[in-house]
Structure 1
């Protein structure tokens, strides 16, 4: 993935800096250039489906002028490239909300009740006493038509 990141940065007249993280869907890299004061992030995806979900969520959030959700900063959309499967965004600091690759737009997930119960129990364990606030974040996102399933402390960071 690093070779792809270097090539992509070059295509944008930018320089690749540090890796900001990686996961199942792809990797996130820090970019910088002489033309921009602040560095920014580029998320490179491995597959179309996750890329399209994330791109479309960021476009929705931009369209609805959403900069934060219940006090959690959301990276601002900067650019996307369908050929490279890349979404560029600003860098945020905690508290923040990241990663929409597993989200659905305008339709909730169609899971059986038992699956939802198991999912919620797992999230309650991961977030402990902060789970009620995470649920409120989910509800606010649903108001914007964004339904999340991939929730963990790496995606929703508290201060």
Structure 2
């Protein structure tokens, strides 16, 4: 079941009310609105992501727990990974640190401990489409990142330039 944008805003605000004892932390800036959820910057210089669907929330949280909580990873192959600050399973909200490029974000479509079961050729076609957005040198860095993520059992496929960002380009 997908949540409405109003429900997402309410979930993010409720999360802040529950986790900030002073009730001074507020949403300050919309950082992104994508297929998986909505992300805001907070006055505490963190990011809050509210999810439309439980499966994307659970996948993203599992990746952050594996990388940040279990292994204290904040960078792979030169790409920053947001630090997991907190989460609420009921509200489907994740609080994370703010990062600057190069970064890897948005683990809501990742697979844990097994690759996706796409028909033959689908992944190759998808990667070829994403490859067009990067220089040859940058694509090599992206492939190194994918390999490093797989060493943690994370199969990451959503290689849009906004998710795997090298510099200040879009």
Give the TM-score normalised by structure 2. Answer: 0.85
Which one of the candidate residues 39, 45, 52 is aligned to 1:28? Answer: 39
Aligned pairs for 1:45-60 within 5 A? 45-60=51-66
Question: Which string of whole-angstrom CA distances, capped at 9 and with x for unpartnered residues, describes residues 37-70 of structure 1?
Answer: x511110001100000000100000211211011
What's the C-alpha RMSD, in Å, of the aligned pairs? 1.4
Question: Structure 2: which 5+ residue stretches go unaligned?
Answer: none
Q: Quick one: distance in 1 between partners of 2:76 and 2:151? A: 11
Give the TM-score normalised by structure 1. Answer: 0.90
Q: Quick one: distance in 1 between partners of 2:123 and 2:102? A: 26
3-state DSSP class of the match of 1:126?
coil
1:106 aligns with 2:117: no
Question: Structure 1: which 5+ residue stretches go unaligned?
Answer: 33-37
Question: Which string of whole-angstrom CA distances, capped at 9 and with x for unpartnered residues, describes residues 52-108 of structure 1?
Answer: 000010000021121101111100001010010001100001111111000011101
1:124 aligned partner: 131
Count of residue correspondences: 154
Q: Quick one: distance in 2 between partners of 1:97 and 1:114? A: 24
Q: Quick one: distance in 2 between partners of 1:138 and 1:122? A: 16
2:29 aligned partner: 18
2:144 aligned partner: 136
